[in-house]
């Protein structure tokens, strides 16, 4: 496989980057899952068709403009595919297109076609880092995860920082492997891996119109154990999903909620999502304020509205390993409050700095640690469980999104 | 009826205020609806019991501490009721308690009992303004609405600015009338009025554990037409609900979504909620940025996740009366973009000011106008409709909630 990118230029959403991932040889073994947003982008519409094609040869990605519900969007995207195919000596149906960026704008087709020859001619077989860098928009840093097994490897890259509450997929994720796994097994494994990883995260409860996870196998390394492959694939997906949250727009604390002993897996996941999506709790975490009442509010809201028959009498909550709620009442005292504040401070990625000209900005660098705000919600009434990751709600998020397009 | 308050002292959440609303004579004609949060406050538990009592004589409200899941919370609240009853020569079962404020803290019972004699001795039959002022927490201003009919009137007061997505009720609302309507009719009317008004607003998608709407009739003015009464009651509730949003934490734009020609009223309301609760769209509105792609995202997310069989092919969207989406694609051009920005600016309540010491604060004054960001979503496929009110997501919201308790 070869990768390409054109250099990004600051500021972040200013210039479109075309990223081309080309296989040395087209493969029949590819899989993809897409957003369930009911108003999807044109590349999603095309991508769903591509799943019926016999082989895939390349993936062409642009940022800046997501090509969602733009007039003539499907035709524009197919035109890019056709030109990419011509240059790579492939058929248009062998090209998977992806777009991310502003919803509502149309692709600058002629300019993109003009840039394609240079993208093709500079394809390189080296590091995947340029591709990981090329696909970002508001991401603070590129996201790459890798697992080695059976004499080959699985390498994945992801972009996504806002509009992140994936439903059957996440923003843009490409997972590449040289391990030979047939198409049918590949697709079943990808669906399960995505469901257990990307579908359990939420940065801001918004579900993108462009979510895509694609998995491509070149098939060069035969004989891999399928169970081991699926485990490694799930690990790569889980690590990338956590990267997406840790790099979420304005995220200064990653929040990990483990819901245990729930009556169903659906309820466990929904409760985890209810907690990481509760704006007041997210703001409290941003302020290193262990306002656990807002945590209880989020659980009670979801159960009251969506699952009113649920028994909460055995509910037990811990934050940073410290029991805060049991037997129907809070279990708090001043020493615990002090310890809870310390836990929140330890999980903070960056301190919020005073804004320049009223605009808060987050530092652009890799995260200093992988710690989370750790919450366990034990319902004491069932065998199902789920782990959900989310982030806090900060001034940096508001600054980034109150003025993203300008 | 008489009202009382002890003066509030700045800063906002610093000191508890006890507010007493006492009837001249206990009445059998009262109604109340409460939060459906599954972990409700002790006053909600008691309030539900009070609905079975033959008469109601007074309402005692405190702010600062909401008495939710605090050890001994029900006993604490009943003790306040008993002491209030003793001073008013009533029975404890004739007192409706309400608490709002921080979740997780216990009531300072002895201090509150010590303050009750002065609350009783200073009861006055004058304006309801002191009561409206006494019940607030993070509200910017007191909220009072009134309707006159049939020789009497309906007067309502409300508090609530954050943790506002009421489910069958809203924060604290008290509606008083001298018009005689029997208990059964009063309760049926209140349920319908709340469902059409308070249950269609959302400031931040969080549902309080303390939501209460109480309606009390002294019965002094007989002969009111019931249909006219219900209409006036609904108007008072709708106006108060809009006041709650316009005064929502950090709200600088009120967003009104009218969903029309939907297959069901439930879907219409859910779509309206999905739009006003979408963080990215809320941030865009805060920045006067007509990023209508985020509006489409919110609709597509809800339909994709919750109602995937819905036909969106006839979807037509307007913002400020300007068509932005029809026939499956955006209908945008530079002139429209300029007009959309102008609409957003006109609906802005306050310009965001540079923060002092990193903390954004909203002005404490009455709103300068009653304009909204006006969105119409026409599904073109049904007869149901709904109107939902929400607010934008601003630095002022984050500042208020990242450090509310300290």
CATH of the domain at A194: 3.60.70.12
Same domain assignment for residues A193 and A290:
no
In tens, the pLDDT along A335-390 reads 999 999 999 999 999 987 777 777 787 776 788 899 999 999 999 999 999 999 99
When CB atoms are compared, the residue of B37, B284, B404 closest to A401 is B284
Same domain assignment for residues B198 and B271:
no
* Residue B51 to chain A, least CA–CA distance (Å): 20
When CB atoms are compared, the residue of A209, A304, A402 closest to B286 is A402
Same domain assignment for residues A230 and A100:
yes
Same domain assignment for residues A177 and A292:
no
Residue range(s) defining the domain that contains residue A227: 2-246
Q: Which residue among A222, A246, A270 closes a domain?
A: A246
Long-range contacts made by residues B77-85, C-beta under 8 angstroms, separation at least 24? B77/B42, B77/B43, B77/B46, B77/B107, B78/B46, B79/B109, B79/B113, B80/B107, B80/B109, B80/B112, B80/B113, B80/B116, B81/B46, B83/B113, B83/B116, B84/B20, B84/B58, B84/B60, B84/B116, B84/B120, B85/B57, B85/B58
Backbone angles phi, psi at B205, to 5 degrees: 75, -5
CB-CB under 8 Å, A330 with B204: no
Q: Which residue among B222, B246, B270 closes a domain?
A: B246
Asked whether residue A235 carries a pLDDT value surpassing 90, the answer given is yes
Same domain assignment for residues A345 and A286:
yes
B161/B400 Cα distance (integer angstroms)? 11
pLDDT at residue A205, as a whole number: 85
Catalytic residue among A19, A84, A137, A170: A170
Contacts of B308 in chain A (CB under 8 A): 36, 38
CB burial of residue B152 (10 Å; 0-12, 13-18, 19+): buried
pLDDT (average), residues B326-332: 93
pLDDT at residue B365, as a whole number: 75
Same domain assignment for residues A192 and A148:
yes
* Residue A200 to chain B, least CA–CA distance (Å): 14
In tens, the pLDDT along B193-225 reads 999 999 998 888 888 888 899 999 999 999 999
CB-CB under 8 Å, B70 with A329: yes
Domain of B326, CATH number, reads: 3.10.20.340
* Residue A146 to chain B, least CA–CA distance (Å): 31
In tens, the pLDDT along B259-313 reads 999 999 999 999 999 999 999 999 999 999 999 999 999 999 999 999 999 999 9
Same domain assignment for residues A228 and A333:
no
In whole numbers, what is the pLDDT of chain B averaged over residues?
90
CB-CB under 8 Å, A73 with B329: yes
Q: Which residue among A246, A268, A297 closes a domain?
A: A246
Q: Compare all CA atoms of chain A with the CA of B355 and give the residue at the minimum distance.
A: A358
3-state helix, strand, coil in chain A (%, to 5): 35, 25, 40
Neighbours of A284 (CB within 10 A): 25
Same domain assignment for residues B328 and B201:
no
Same domain assignment for residues B227 and B364:
no
B112/B61 Cα distance (integer angstroms)? 11
Q: Compare all CA atoms of chain B with the CA of A41 and give the residue at the minimum distance.
A: B297
A170 catalytically annotated: yes
* Residue A206 to chain B, least CA–CA distance (Å): 6
In tens, the pLDDT along B141-193 reads 888 999 999 898 999 999 888 887 776 556 789 999 999 999 999 999 999 99
In tens, the pLDDT along A101-146 reads 888 889 999 999 999 999 999 888 878 898 898 888 778 888 899 9
pTM reported for the whole predicted model: 0.88
DSSP state of A165: -
Q: Which 3 state secondary structure label does DSSP give A186?
A: helix
Q: Where residue B33 falls among pLDDT bands split at 50, 70, 90?
A: very high
> Which sequence positions of B are flagged as catalytic?
170
Same domain assignment for residues A129 and A196:
yes
Same domain assignment for residues B269 and B212:
no
In chain B, how many domains are there? 2
pLDDT (average), residues B312-338: 95
Same domain assignment for residues A225 and A339:
no
CB-CB under 8 Å, B399 with A398: no
């Amino acid at each position: 496989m070869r990768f390409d990118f054109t250099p990004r230029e600051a500021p972040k959403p200013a210039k479109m980057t075309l990223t081309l991932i080309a296989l040395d040889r087209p493969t029949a073994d590819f899989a993809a899952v897409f957003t369930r947003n009911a108003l999807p982008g044109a590349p999603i519409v095309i991508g769903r068709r591509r799943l019926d094609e016999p082989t895939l040869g390349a993936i062409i990605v642009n940022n800046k403009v997501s090509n969602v519900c733009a007039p003539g969007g499907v035709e524009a995207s197919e035109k890019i595919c056709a030109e990419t195919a011509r240059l790579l000596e492939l058929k248009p149906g062998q090209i998977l297109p992806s777009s991310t960026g502003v919803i509502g704008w149309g692709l600058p087709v002629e300019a993109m076609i003009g840039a394609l020859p240079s993208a093709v001619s500079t394809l390189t077989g080296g590091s995947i880092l340029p591709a990981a860098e090329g696909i970002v928009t508001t991401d603070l840093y590129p996201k790459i995860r890798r697992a080695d097994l059976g004499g080959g490897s699985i390498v994945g890259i992801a972009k996504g920082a806002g509009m992140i509450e994936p439903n059957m997929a996440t923003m843009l994720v490409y997972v590449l492997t040289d391990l030979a796994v047939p198409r049918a097994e590949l697709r079943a494994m990808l669906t399960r891996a995505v469901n257990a990883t990307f579908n359990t995260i939420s940065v801001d409860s918004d579900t993108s119109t462009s979510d895509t996870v694609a998995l491509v196998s070149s098939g060069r390394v035969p004989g891999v154990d399928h169970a081991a492959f699926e485990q490694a694939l799930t690990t790569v997906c889980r690590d990338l999903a956590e990267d997406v949250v840790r790099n979420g727009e304005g995220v200064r604390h990653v929040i990990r909620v483990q819901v245990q002993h729930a009556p169903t897996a659906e309820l466990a996941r929904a409760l985890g999502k209810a907690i990481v999506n509760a704006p007041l709790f997210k703001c409290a975490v941003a302020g290193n304020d262990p306002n656990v009442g807002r945590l209880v509010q989020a659980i009670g809201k979801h159960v009251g509205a969506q699952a009113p028959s649920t028994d909460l009498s055995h509910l037990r909550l811990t934050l940073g390993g410290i029991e805060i709620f049991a037997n129907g009442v809070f279990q708090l005292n001043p020493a615990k409050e002090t310890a809870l504040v310390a836990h929140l401070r330890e999980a903070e990625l960056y301190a919020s700095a005073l804004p320049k000209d009223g605009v808060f900005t987050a530092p652009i660098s890799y995260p200093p640690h992988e710690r989370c705000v750790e919450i366990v919600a034990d319902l004491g009434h069932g065998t199902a469980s789920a782990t959900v990751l989310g982030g806090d709600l900060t001034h940096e998020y508001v600054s980034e999104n109150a003025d993203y397009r300008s």
